Amino acid sequence: MAMAVSDKKNEKKVKEDFPLLWRQMNGQPLVYLDNAATTQKPLSVINRITEFYKNEYATVHRGVYALSQDSTIECELVRDKCRGFLNASMKEEIVFVRGATEAINLVVSTYGEEHVGAGDEVIITTIEHHANLVPWQQLCERKKAILQVVPVNDRGELDMTAYEKLLSNKTKIVAVGHVSNALGTINPVEEITQLAHTVGAKVLIDGAQAVPHLSVDVQKINCDFYVFSSHKVYGPTGIGVLFGKKAILEKMKPYQYGGDMIESVRFEKTTFAQVPQKFEAGTPAIAEIVGLGAAITYLELLGYEWIQRHEGDLLAYGTQQLQKVKDLRIIGTAKNKASVISFVLGHIHAHDIGSILDQCGIAIRAGHHCAQPTMKRFGVPATVRASFAVYNTHEDIDKLIQGLKRVQEVFA
Mark whether 360 is an active-site residue.
no
- Nearest Cα neighbor of 57 from 73, 71, 45 is 71
DSSP state of 324: T
As a whole number of angstroms, the distance between CA 179 and CA 206 comes to 8
Question: CB–CB of 225/276 below 8 Å?
Answer: no
As a whole number of angstroms, the distance between CA 295 and CA 239 comes to 12
Q: Tell me how crowded residue 203 is: count the other CB atoms within 10 A of its CB.
A: 22
Question: CB–CB of 394/314 below 8 Å?
Answer: yes
Q: Tell me how crowded residue 3 is: count the other CB atoms within 10 A of its CB.
A: 11
Question: CB–CB of 294/46 below 8 Å?
Answer: no
Question: CB–CB of 366/407 below 8 Å?
Answer: no
- Nearest Cα neighbor of 392 from 26, 47, 18 is 18
Find the angle CA(139)-CA(332)-CA(223) to the nearest 5 degrees.
45
Over the range 288-317, which residues count as b (16 or more CB within 10 Å of their CB) and which as e?
bbbbbbbbbbbbeebeeebbeebbebbbee
Question: CB–CB of 397/11 below 8 Å?
Answer: no
Question: CB–CB of 96/79 below 8 Å?
Answer: yes
Residue 384 three-state SS:
strand
- Annotated active-site positions, please? 370
